[in-house]
Amino acid sequence: MVQYNFKKITVVPNGKDFVDIILSRTQRQTPTVVHKGYAISRLRQFYMRKVKYTQQNFHEKLSTIIDEFPRLDGIHPFYGDLLHVLYNKDHYKLALGQINTARNLISKIAKDYVKLLKYGDSLYRCKCLKVAALGRMCTVIKRIAPSLAYLEQIRQHMARLPSIDPNTRTILICGYPNVGKSSFINKITRADVEVQPYAFTTKSLFVGHTDYKYLRYQVIDTPGILDRPFEDRNIIEMCSITALAHLRAAVMFFLDISGSCGYSIAQQAALFHSIKSLFLNKPLIIVCNKTDLQPLEGISEEDKKLVMEMKAEAMKTVIGQGGDPASDQGVLLTMSTLTEDGVIAVKNAACERLLDQRVEVKMKSKKINDCLNRFHVAIPKPRDQKERPPCIPQAVLEAKAKQAAEKEKRRTERDLENENGGAGVYSASLKKNYILANDEWKEDVMPEIIDGHNVCDFIDPDILQRLEELEREEGLRQAEEADDDFEMDGQELTPEEKQALAEIRRKKTLLIQEHRVKKSTAESRPIVPRKFDKDRKFTTHRMGRQLSSLGLDPSLAINRAHSKSRGRKRERSPERGANSGDDMDMDVDTPNKKLRLRSSSRSRSTSRPPGEIVPGEGFKDSSQKVKAVKLAKKSAKKRNKNARRGEADRVIPTLKPKFVFREALYRKRRR
């Protein structure tokens, strides 16, 4: 379990916010009303309470900062050296020391001013002492503002550090930049480390987790290291050196035998020999990566000799740990992260080596002696000399063999994808799992399915014959309709009717032509109002002359065309003048009911008294209604005082509550 969780460190406010937080809390949590007429002991107690409460708040906040930041001498050496590399432990300790000094100064200031307040002889003097005490405390906080800002930056950076447990099973990956370390950790864990074809893509430690034999292993990807003196290495390289020096882990030194990383095998071998002192008492595995570009057997003799020397150094670590010197399995391995050839074998070898080394260490420790007396291995004693070999039923053996054969023959979608062009090119077939009578039908092109039927279900074999019959019937029906059409040839009409028919047809043709012209120019032709119709084309007199020429009575059409005013005019009775105001007499004398309704609606409305009962309100008399109105007003009175709109309104519209500005009001009164 991870012991160091830097993400829980409280945010460190800057100097100004620090002062605002503490003074605001003092103002809210302590009494704010005091009068000159109070006893002097009460005045002293009032201001002593403010000074003590402010000092306690400063002390709690500063103590939280000091306690939550880790002490470099009390944590694991790995984290201590890592924080020293990243932040310089001298500056870190100096900042925390200044915070501690400020806490002690604030306590001393509060103690001194509380003593002075005990001898305050007036309200004015006590208040001046309180203001001086709070001012000196705030001055101390403002002086340590740079230290607070520095610690806040450190807190933000520490929160982004990976959670590494130095005591768990760990696999450490190291080597030159761009040799495939990040690609390997992405393959064996769920970590998502950025991979780019240039050096120093990884600039900090990254952590992933993998499982082997039901155990969880911690895999750490370190930034690349260059072969140069220790004092010339930068912060990125020192992170890797710190991890190699302090973590008990299985070390995997990656070697790019293709040279595509930009560094030769000789340079990588020189780096191996320069940092081999960091591999002592740790399982070491040399991994030759990028075998897809250059196999190990194809390198030159000089490079192969350098690789063998590195393997010999790795074997020394095996011998030093009590391993078998004749066994060189798991010391020099080859793989390719691009094709994933040998990736799982390298992971399993590293986990196995680390597990054996941890078991060996535990067996050599003193704790094992306390546990040996608890172990008991039961060995059954033979009851006779008869041999009893293991008996497994033949059916079980056959089923197991069949299952193994099917497992070998089974090809996954990943295999098919790799064979057919890879991701983005291969498209998985969704028809191969169809259950059909014949497997050859699976790849047939199927027509569109509609309501459980395909297109073939809707095809009629006699469709052409039926189409011919329908066409024949349609031809016969059209011929019958042509025979039944009535055309007015004019032979049965009188000369006057023929003249009227010719006039109607001519007029119809003119209307059609005029409509076509208007339609073609409708977008660009404005609508001309009737009063600007200078030609007087559309008038009732013209319409009357046309209807009269046709032998029709135009009076009804002209009366209908005349516009009537829809406004309500006041009808006057013939026997009364225009200024008559006796509406009641007019209503009685008016014979028409409609006129009486109009005259009554124009009468001036009168206000209804509060006690008047309207049908449907549910009151038996006017006194009951007056009493109900009084009760309603009384219930809303309290809500209206609070300026609320309804019973569910909980908004306090006062933007400046009096309890916050009580002291300001007190100052105003004193002036």
Give per-residue pLDDT as tens, 593-610.
444 545 444 445 567 777
- Looking at residue 441, its pLDDT comes to 84
Among 178, 179, 346, CA closest to 251: 346
Among 115, 128, 201, 162, CA closest to 6: 162
d(CA 180, CA 390): 48
- Looking at residue 291, its pLDDT comes to 87
Give per-residue pLDDT as tens, 214-269.
899 999 999 988 888 888 888 888 888 888 888 889 999 999 888 888 888 888 88
Domain residues for the domain of 138 are 6-158
146 part of a folded domain = yes
> Do 199 and 81 share a structural domain?
no
Amino acid letter for position 296 = L
Q: Is residue 125 exposed (0-12), middle (13-18) or buried (19+ Cβ within 10 Å)?
A: middle
Ranking 60-74, 487-501, 563-577 by mean pLDDT, the lowest is 563-577
> Do 303 and 326 share a structural domain?
yes
pLDDT of 481 above 70: yes
611 part of a folded domain = no
Residue 180 φ/ψ region, left for φ over 0, alpha for ψ in the -120 to 50 degree band, beta for the rest: left
The arithmetic mean of pLDDT across residues 433-456, rounded, is 77
> Do 318 and 185 share a structural domain?
yes
Average pLDDT, the chain: 81
pLDDT of 586 above 50: no
pLDDT of 445 above 90: no
Beta-carbon-side half-sphere exposure of residue 457 (alpha carbons within 13 Å): 9
> Do 173 and 119 share a structural domain?
no
245 part of a folded domain = yes
533 part of a folded domain = no
How would residue 448 be classed by pLDDT, with cut points 50, 70 and 90?
A: low
450 part of a folded domain = no
How would residue 99 be classed by pLDDT, with cut points 50, 70 and 90?
A: very high
d(CA 413, CA 183): 23
Last residue of a domain, one of 349, 367, 385: 367
How would residue 96 be classed by pLDDT, with cut points 50, 70 and 90?
A: very high
- Looking at residue 527, its pLDDT comes to 61
> Do 166 and 154 share a structural domain?
no
Domain count, the chain: 2
- Looking at residue 113, its pLDDT comes to 94
32 part of a folded domain = yes
How would residue 562 be classed by pLDDT, with cut points 50, 70 and 90?
A: low
656 part of a folded domain = no
Give per-residue pLDDT as tens, 360-390.
888 777 777 777 777 777 888 888 888 888 8
Among 550, 632, 660, 564, CA closest to 23: 660
> Do 310 and 219 share a structural domain?
yes
pTM passes above 0.75: no
> Do 308 and 188 share a structural domain?
yes
- Looking at residue 605, its pLDDT comes to 54
Last residue of a domain, one of 315, 350, 367: 367
CATH number of residue 269's parent domain: 3.40.50.300
CATH number of residue 52's parent domain: 1.20.120.1190
Among 101, 21, 12, 19, CA closest to 65: 12
Q: Among residues of the chain, what percentage have pLDDT more than 70?
A: 82
199 part of a folded domain = yes
> Do 72 and 94 share a structural domain?
yes
Give per-residue pLDDT as tens, 166-201.
888 999 999 998 888 889 999 889 888 888 877 788
> Do 346 and 295 share a structural domain?
yes
> Do 181 and 81 share a structural domain?
no
> Do 271 and 188 share a structural domain?
yes
> Do 169 and 87 share a structural domain?
no
Last residue of a domain, one of 158, 187, 206: 158
Residue 52 corresponds to which tokens in the numbers above? 């003590």
